Structure 1
Amino acid sequence: MSEATVRRRSLRPSLAIQVLAALLLGLLLGLAARSLEWDWLTTTLATLGSSYVSALQVTVVPLIFTAIVVSIANLRDLGRGPGAVARLGGKTLLWFAATSLIAVLIGLATGLLSRPGEGVAIQPDPETVESLAERQPGSWLDFLTGLVPNNLFAAFADGAVLQVVVISVVTGIAAYALKDKAAPFIAFNRSALEIVQKVLWWLVLLAPLGVLGLIGRAVATYGVGETLAPLLRLGVSVYVACFVVLLAVYPLLLRVVAGVSPLLFFRKAWPVLQFAFVSRSSGATLPLSTRTAVNLGVDSRYASFAVPLGVTTKMDGCAAIYPAIATIFIAQFYGVTLTPTDYLLIVLVAVVGSSATAGVTGWFTMLTLTLSTVGLPLEGVALVFAIDPILDMIRTATNVAGQIVVPVLVARSEGLLDRETLLSRDSSLLDPTAPPLAEETAPAGAHDGGSSSGQPPVPAGEGRSPATG
């Protein structure tokens, strides 16, 4: 790459700056559309935002399948026996459950202290109630029976992410057991993964346009006046609880358990958390989350297993904090007093049922599942529906942070955390969304067996991945 090209790239605003600029511009356009009643501008912003979200969602199912299959197959390259690999997976799931338990307890404490549903004098929108009545509420039976698809191809076509996860895990374990016999299949999935991530990388570069539409549409549609004012206490409660987990719980675990500086973690993870905040999609953030974990020193082969698994089962924002606070809000709105047993059930649902959050309606599934478990009316979902896009931003950022923190904790305990990479201040490691400064390609055969490169599944063109382990 020529020196002039390198200079131009160095002068180009980073993606984080572009996103912040788009955020501000979207806010201004949304206010203009609302105050001047420019329906055409509101429609334009809504179309821009929804089109970007739809494009992101298209990549989620193939990304999840190929990433999980390849990551399970790559566990063989760790040089450990099946028992050690099983222990590694079990420890990961245990940390997922433990941190979810902490998150739901913080959500409950925040809800009990703020009492968000007291004094609310609003009524659910009739059209929203009617539309929600047509949706299938979450239930334990539906969750269990929904794990196994009736039709293999229908699971992919319908975007049934949880079923795709089950298929992916079974397929990956089978490929792991077949060893060399499955090598062509694994190589095909590696190639498919690279293609999907290349497309997703292009979408990442278009994030400012998506942010412009999403924020603009939210402001133009909902505003900040009488419609949202009664729900302000609920929104503040959710944000406070998420910030406690983000800025207190995770840093404490990183410092005490893994010996990792919280400042270093946030310096490397900030671009990813920002993208998660504005995109509201853990699945779309997956490649950047994986690379961030690797940049924090996690062995790339383990990171490519743990982070995709976390995308479907580790949702502290959507599955723990939000259902806890929203359930308290709805109970107080209807004048229902929750018992200690109800609170225990909320905790149980958050810890055990977090796998049900997979997919774009995960918050709805978990909230209706929680309401059904404690016997509250499902119509209460309509009360929080209006501000859900605003709440979903911080929920997704919290989800993604947890999906990166847990692999760091487990990697430290298993000797899979590379300190040199962790402490590196290389700019390419500080920003996982930064474009490469030189054209670099993986060594020949690096993606055929996984043992020669140890590269994580990140979008093609993002630059080199540091060797770890």
Structure 2
Amino acid sequence: MLNRRGYWHILLAIFLAILAGLWQQPWILKCADLVSEIFVRLLKLISLPMISLSLLATISSVGENSLSTMGKRIVTYTVLTTTIAATIALLMYTFMQPVFHLSNEVVAQTVNQVDYLKELIKVIPSNLLEPFLEGNVVSILLLSLLLGFGITKLPKEQRLPIHQLLQSLFLIMMQITRWIVSFMPVAVWGFMTSFVLELTKGLSIAQLGWYLGAILSANLIQAFIILPLFLWWHGISARQAFMKMLPALSFAFFSKSSSAAMPTAIDCAERNLGVDSKVARFSFPLCTSINMNACAAFILITVLFVAQSHGMQISMSEKITWIFIATIAAIGNAGVPMGCFFIASALLSTMNLPLTLMGIILPFYALLDMLESAINIWSDSCVTLAVNQKSKEVLVSEPSSNTIVEELAE
């Protein structure tokens, strides 16, 4: 969502933030706090409606009849690969332990420990507005899923107007998001100024490198070990598939948009890999909306990183619970611009945690987004190839009409 000039503006903002953080003029620090607070409020303003509307718009576009065997298989593979991605992320986070040691002033802002049993009960809302008023992301995802699948049960003539309304509201929120993101250099200056100030108080920047390393490692393991094994299990050559999908993967990497790369991915799958057009043109749009392997890894590692950096103690059983939360949240992302970042921020807000570290992560997210987009398209391709292979097996196992005629003739 940022052009080349926008990235130069971010680099300039980081440079000015370093100067401001080292200078430590009180009025500049107050301005930085004000800018950071405004941007955090704007993130909270758009994140929850974007998550809900994107999920509703996606599900409402699929009628009940379209949720056929192929659709169910795609959803099954999506949940499987996304859950594995979140599990790998937890293993890498546990191994690397990328936790900041924040100053006492920052840690003092952290609220008491989260009672997960109470949070689990809160997932089931007592009214439609409660999840949005309380900022409960998981509850919003559950409500959106229920409403979305309820819409798919409607007849086509009743479902289409609802879908058009939801799609229009979603596009409005996307436009608002673009306006907010256009002020990202100013927000980066505010967050980075506070970050540099923390560095002068003894904050170790090495832990940020471990955090980024955990995300990169989890994504690379998913892309080059887990997904190839998934293809091997279905009797498909991962190397051949990767090489022939490379144009689409490159497009997704440099455009930082799996949605923009979808037409190229469909063309590569049909022309280079011989995927049935019906499978490719149904699977890729659906996968682009719900199959977000890299997003699950980012959400899990980021939430745990920020929470534990603010002194929150999280047991291993609670970390395992986050595998399922991150999986559901990633599926609910539905291709929203900066959706992973918004969902992670919303989850942290639900936990009443400060979003200062999210501002520090923000400049690096633009780079992470490039890799995540390519991995998401690669995962979409793997799911599509597996579904296509299953479809072939079904056709082979079922006698064709000509074979039946020949048998009857004999």
Give the TM-score taking structure 2 as reference length: 0.67
Asked if 1 retains the 8 angstrom alpha-carbon contact of 2:20 and 2:28, the reply is yes
Correspondence list, 1:24-43, <5 A: 24-43=11-30
What is the match of residue 401 of structure 2?
Answer: none
Correspondence list, 1:280-359, <5 A: 288-293=257-262, 295-297=264-266, 305-306=286-287, 309=290, 314-320=295-301, 323=304, 345=317, 348-354=320-326, 358=343
Give the number of aligned pairs: 350
Tell me whether 1:187 sits opposite 2:164 in the alignment: yes
What is the match of residue 459 of structure 1?
Answer: none
Alpha-carbon RMSD across the aligned residues, in angstroms, is 4.4
Correspondence list, 1:52-71, <5 A: 52-71=39-58
What is the match of residue 149 of structure 1?
Answer: 125
User: By how many angstroms is 1:267 displaced?
Assistant: 3.3
In the alignment, the residues of structure 2 paired with residue 292 and residue 53 of structure 1 have an alpha-carbon distance, to the nearest angstrom, of: 30
Tell me whether 1:85 sits opposite 2:62 in the alignment: no
Alignment partner of 1:132: what SS? coil
More displaced 10-residue stretch of structure 1: 195-204 or 290-299: 290-299
User: By how many angstroms is 1:53 displaced?
Assistant: 4.8
In the alignment, the residues of structure 1 paired with residue 81 and residue 87 of structure 2 have an alpha-carbon distance, to the nearest angstrom, of: 10
In the alignment, the residues of structure 2 paired with residue 123 and residue 146 of structure 1 have an alpha-carbon distance, to the nearest angstrom, of: 30
Correspondence list, 1:116-195, <5 A: 124-125=103-104, 127-133=105-111, 137-180=113-156, 181-195=158-172
In the alignment, the residues of structure 1 paired with residue 122 and residue 137 of structure 2 have an alpha-carbon distance, to the nearest angstrom, of: 10
In the alignment, the residues of structure 2 paired with residue 198 and residue 350 of structure 1 have an alpha-carbon distance, to the nearest angstrom, of: 31
Structure that is richer in helix per residue:
2
User: By how many angstroms is 1:71 displaced?
Assistant: 1.6
Q: Letter of the 2:323 partner, please give it.
A: V
In the alignment, the residues of structure 1 paired with residue 54 and residue 360 of structure 2 have an alpha-carbon distance, to the nearest angstrom, of: 29
User: By how many angstroms is 1:124 displaced?
Assistant: 4.9
In the alignment, the residues of structure 1 paired with residue 29 and residue 309 of structure 2 have an alpha-carbon distance, to the nearest angstrom, of: 33
Residue from 237, 240, 252 that aligns with 1:269 = 252
In the alignment, the residues of structure 1 paired with residue 292 and residue 114 of structure 2 have an alpha-carbon distance, to the nearest angstrom, of: 19
Alignment partner of 2:205: what SS? helix
Asked if 1 retains the 8 angstrom alpha-carbon contact of 2:78 and 2:383, the reply is yes
| C-alpha distance 406-179 of structure 1, shift in aligned 2 (>3 A) | farther
Deviations 1:422-455 (A, max 9, x none): xxxxxxxxxxxxxxxxxxxxxxxxxxxxxxxxxx
What is the match of residue 101 of structure 1?
Answer: 87
User: By how many angstroms is 1:166 displaced?
Assistant: 1.4
Asked if 2 retains the 8 angstrom alpha-carbon contact of 1:306 and 1:407, the reply is yes
Correspondence list, 1:400-419, <5 A: 400-401=372-373, 405-415=378-388
In the alignment, the residues of structure 2 paired with residue 123 and residue 71 of structure 1 have an alpha-carbon distance, to the nearest angstrom, of: 40
Tell me whether 1:250 sits opposite 2:232 in the alignment: no
Unpaired runs of at least 5, structure 2: 232-237, 270-279, 330-342, 390-410
Asked if 2 retains the 8 angstrom alpha-carbon contact of 1:143 and 1:356, the reply is no
Give the percent of matched residue pairs that are identical in Structure 1 and Structure 2: 14
In the alignment, the residues of structure 2 paired with residue 226 and residue 49 of structure 1 have an alpha-carbon distance, to the nearest angstrom, of: 17
Correspondence list, 1:196-207, <5 A: 196-204=173-181, 206=182
Asked if 1 retains the 8 angstrom alpha-carbon contact of 2:29 and 2:194, the reply is yes
More displaced 10-residue stretch of structure 1: 157-166 or 93-102: 157-166
Alignment partner of 1:75: what SS? coil
Alignment partner of 1:168: what SS? helix
